[in-house]
Structure 1
Amino acid sequence: MPLPYSTFSEHLDALAARQSGAAALIDQDQPISVANLRARSRALAAGLARLGVQPGHRVAVWLPNCAAWVESFLACAHLGALVLAVNTRFRALEVADILGRGRADWLVYWPGFKGIDFQGILDGVAPEDLARLQGAVALSGANELSPAAVHGKPVHRYDALLACADPAPAAQGNAGVLCFTTSGTTSKPKFVLHDQKTLLRHGAMVARAFGYGDDACVLASAPFCGAFGFATLVGGLARGVPVVCAPVFDAAQSAQAAARHAVTHTYANNEALVGMMQAAAPGAFSRAQLFGFASFTPALDNLLDLAGEAGVPLTGLYGSSELIALVAGQPRDPAEGDVSARHQPGGTLIYPDARVRARDPETGQILPHGQSGEIEIRSPSLMRGYLDNPEATRAALTDDGYFKTGDLGYTLTGRQFVFQTRMGDSLRLSGFLVNPVEIEQVVETLPGVRACQVVGATRQGRIVPYAFVLLHAGAQADAVGWTAACKAAMAGFKAPAGFTVLEAFPSVESANSVKIQKHRLREMADAILSDCAS
């Protein structure tokens, strides 16, 4: 779809001229108009420019869903800087990787948010990972003190930058503006780079495909730092309809916000939607036009029942960091595809010229509709590439421009498909795709642990990581200490739900190697967690 604007600054200018008083965001129940969002993001751009932020600089934004996240993104887009999106649940190991390998020049963060010891986490980052960092910007309340420095680098107050009297520099043109982090087939996350024009166009297509009218109001249920949450945000920004956000997702509060602000659309993992519907008062979703879900947990049947009782129309979704989330949604209209697949993950690609196919992973042959293989997608929403990693970029694409998703599924048409599972052993934890190698490498640094294998297991309807370990001679198990160490090193949702010591991992010899039988470990973990619950 042709767009009149290729940058967020151009789009925001036009939106402010057309509907300056309309709400662009509703942040903790406080509406922020288009004009106000524009003014604050430009003031912030001026303040950042005074600090020395330049086109091409990399700015790590370590904030929750709030107006400051959006303002920081828009300010960086105006300046031609690249945002490295950082999850607030990340800890020292993950933050160090993003700041160091992502070569961050600047950091924007909220030291007092949610009781998280941001300063302590930063203190745990090795100095070499901050070698390129020029300074940080701290979001603080009026009566809160900001840290003076991070590893000797100056920390500036966010509100002081907003008060900068300088005019904002001239807007930069289209360029790479946002990096999501994603786990690939190695232990290190990749940095998925998207440019402004692609993101804006995708937002416009999301709004069109999911039916945003003038009365639309979108609830942000996922973090803006990930592709799922950002696609929710950019769809609202592109269409000029309000996006409701809060720094912390709470099911009951989200249900109340949906009623209070007449929310029409939201997108979440099915566990989050179940929580919202269970907590909602009667009629809370009376304005709902479409709720989309990604099936990350086994609670689907319960979700369908609850949605039926609440009168909420549901549809399955699909997306990725490389293609941006909401790139596909199962159709509600037979003209758009097979509606019998509506409550399965996957969907019809939202771009008319996008295409999907399934490839046999063993033979390399393209499969007919209905046969399962690796899903490959060609879409205008495709990333620019993996930041600083041209080899990985080339490996992710076919010669004719399809992205190799690494997902197992089958096609229904050239634009519609059903997602089944990951081709490999990656885990969906709290809505995030996590490579178990990341967890295994941390566990293998713990006292007494010689080797580790992590699998996904089901506990109370949720997928959680579970660790099987081999010990050094004479070592003793210390599940309590290991759990505490993992939670200190990684986001809490990555910490194993339990540890079991084995004499050896179950394995089978193939023609080329000895392969660990992860399916047997998953069965063992499910049985252990089931016994614990009974």
Structure 2
Amino acid sequence: MAQAPFFFSQRLTELAKTHAQQIALIDRDSETTFAQLEQQAKQLAGNLHALGIKHDQRVAVWLPNCLAWVQTFLACAHLGATVLAVNTRFRSKEVADIIGRGKADWLVIWPEFKGIAFADILADVPADVLARLKGIVTLGDFQSPAVRAIAARGCAVYDYARLIDTPSTPHPAVGNAGAICFTTSGTTSLPKFVLHDQHTLIVHGEAMQEAYGYNADSRILASAPFCGAFGFSTLTGGLVTGCTVVSEAVSDTHSTLTQLRRHRVSHTYANNESILKLLEAADSPADFASCKLFGFANFSPAVTSLLEQAERNHLPLTGLYGSSELQALVAAQPTHEDAGDLRVRYLAGGKLIHPTARVRVTDPSTGKILATGESGEIEIFSPSLMIGYLDNPEATAKAMTTDGFFKTGDLGYALSEQQFVFQARMGDSMRLSGFLVNPAEIEQTVESLPGVKACQVVGGTLGTKTLPVAFVILREGEQADTVGWTAACKREMAGYKVPVHFEVVTSFPSVESANAVKIQKNKLRDMADAWLAKRS
């Protein structure tokens, strides 16, 4: 498919001809062929256009992994509308930020999915933010109390079932355009919106086919959320190359093992902790008989027995690297001697999958390019790179070098011009439940709570998990209200961001440098680890 089209509508039309009866997506055991998916996406696009969704508008998609997520993305791509991917675990403050700062024109939600009170969450979104939406499209029972509650806020509400099932007037495809935005933790308290266009996404999907060995028999399990780069790249790597993608809306160890056996999964990608749980829960190596490759991202550094378990279960395993800006799975450690250095196969990082991509490591203080084996900031040039940060040219320029390399903010060392090892984040970002979170985002929320003068948040380690712990300095004369603080945080943030403990201190440990007084977060992490150890 080297000469195949580079925007989604054209690619889908081609696949509907060449792979018409091939299964494109398995969603909760319901199968959809490429021919069916093309018809559904184009029909939905026509009806969305009739509603008023147009080229360059922005559609916030607040759905779990499901067929409707894929249909909606493809329909928006057909129209040239940009999808703002919203995590189903987000709460009112985060949703308001995406709608407001992301300038969303439309919202697509599943109000009653998995017991999440979407209507209640929207009720906490400020009216002036919600008012910018031209309409809300809802999945599920259109007559439900949740949908009526949304409509009661003055929002125009539309039934997804009618939009997907009703024949529509065909609308011509727009072609290449901004396709999707991921939210990512940045150097400020507010997440940045990472924008990719259709061409870049499809080129990356094709590179994945070559690098990971996809063929007509490949079945790719996508258990990571489509709203993030990890899950989305897993989806599109299969979708644009004619492979079957197996989707999980809610993933746990038991359900994933069931999917592996039932659908003869050949490839999947997950964090190291999740893969270890699969290996520990498996009945025998036969559970992984169909598996050609499992790639892992090192989200839980405390996990140490993964390699031993993989070898015991005869599971081909390799380390991965990616980011929202570069796309996930942009690098994987080689599995054959002629492809690169096998000594680091089970370390995070990898060989860049695009033939023209390059990696280098620089001294962050001087910008000097370091020799192979020397640790510094990883910089990457790749065709998979984002267009930029949405509506933020200053941040985009700051993230790039003058010769086109992306400054990852990650610590590591190069083995060659295409292979490298990732060691750690250079900043203080935390990996919580698989998501990279800037502690400043949590700190800002905690500092808005009654009685709080200042806050520092760090990630403490409990077993293989990283959990957020907040250190708080109180305002004079105030007392701690940990129950109230926890409840307020749960209303405003995803559950994985809510501190598991609030520790009241009189000051933060700090050290003076030549330019500033710096808080010693390493000491706070030690304190957090000690508290979590007592708790376990």
2:353 counterpart of 1:363: no
Aligned to 1:273: 275
Q: Which of 201, 204, 221 lines up with 1:219 in the alignment?
A: 221
Aligned AA for 2:417? Answer: G
Aligned AA for 2:380? Answer: I
Q: Which of 228, 231, 234 lines up with 1:232 in the alignment?
A: 234
Residues of 1 paired with 2:142 and 2:281: CA distance? 34
Alpha-carbon spacing, 1:142–1:26, altered in 2? closer, same or farther (3 Å)? farther
2:384 counterpart of 1:389: no
Aligned AA for 1:393? Answer: T
Alpha-carbon spacing, 1:359–1:179, altered in 2? closer, same or farther (3 Å)? same
In the superposition, the TM-score normalised over structure 2's length comes to 0.97
Aligned to 2:157: 155
Q: Which of 309, 313, 320 lines up with 2:323 in the alignment?
A: 320
Aligned to 1:109: 109
Instruction: Show CA shifts across 1:96-128 (max 9, x none).
Output: 000000100000000000101101111111122
Q: Which of 501, 505, 508 lines up with 1:505 in the alignment?
A: 508
Residues of 2 paired with 1:119 and 1:276: CA distance? 35
Alpha-carbon spacing, 1:142–1:23, altered in 2? closer, same or farther (3 Å)? farther
Q: Which of 208, 217, 225 lines up with 1:206 in the alignment?
A: 208
Residues of 2 paired with 1:357 and 1:287: CA distance? 36
Alpha-carbon spacing, 1:242–1:144, altered in 2? closer, same or farther (3 Å)? farther
Give matches, 1:241-280, under 5 Å: 241-280=243-282
- State whether residues 16 and 38 of structure 1, in contact with CA within 8 Å, keep that contact through their aligned partners in structure 2: yes
- How much has 1:144 moved relative to structure 2? 4.8
Q: Which runs of 5+ in 1 are unaligned?
A: none
Residues of 2 paired with 1:475 and 1:144: CA distance? 44
2:140 counterpart of 1:140: yes
* Number of equivalenced pairs: 533
- State whether residues 96 and 129 of structure 2, in contact with CA within 8 Å, keep that contact through their aligned partners in structure 1: yes
Residues of 2 paired with 1:412 and 1:476: CA distance? 53
Aligned to 1:167: 169
Matched residue SS, 1:239: coil
Alpha-carbon spacing, 1:288–1:444, altered in 2? closer, same or farther (3 Å)? same
2:491 counterpart of 1:485: no
Residues of 1 paired with 2:192 and 2:440: CA distance? 14
- How much has 1:484 moved relative to structure 2? 2.0
Aligned to 2:90: 90
Aligned AA for 2:427? Answer: G
Matched residue SS, 1:496: coil
- How much has 1:459 moved relative to structure 2? 1.0
| Percent of aligned pairs with the same amino acid | 58
- How much has 1:145 moved relative to structure 2? 6.1
Instruction: Show CA shifts across 1:195-222 (max 9, x none).
Output: 1011011011111101112211000121
- State whether residues 303 and 464 of structure 2, in contact with CA within 8 Å, keep that contact through their aligned partners in structure 1: no
Aligned to 1:461: 464
TM superposition outliers: structure 1 runs of 4+ over 3 Å? 141-146
- State whether residues 56 and 81 of structure 1, in contact with CA within 8 Å, keep that contact through their aligned partners in structure 2: yes
Give matches, 1:419-438, under 5 Å: 419-438=422-441
Which 10-residue stretch deviates more, 83-92 or 130-139?
130-139
Q: Which of 336, 351, 356 lines up with 2:354 in the alignment?
A: 351
Aligned to 1:99: 99
Matched residue SS, 1:326: strand
Residues of 2 paired with 1:146 and 1:454: CA distance? 35
In the superposition, the TM-score normalised over structure 1's length comes to 0.98
- How much has 1:303 moved relative to structure 2? 1.8
Instruction: Show CA shifts across 1:198-257 (max 9, x none).
Output: 101101111110111221100012100000000000111122111111211111101110
Aligned to 1:304: 307
- How much has 1:2 moved relative to structure 2? 4.7
Aligned to 2:190: 188
Residues of 1 paired with 2:248 and 2:499: CA distance? 28
- State whether residues 178 and 194 of structure 1, in contact with CA within 8 Å, keep that contact through their aligned partners in structure 2: yes
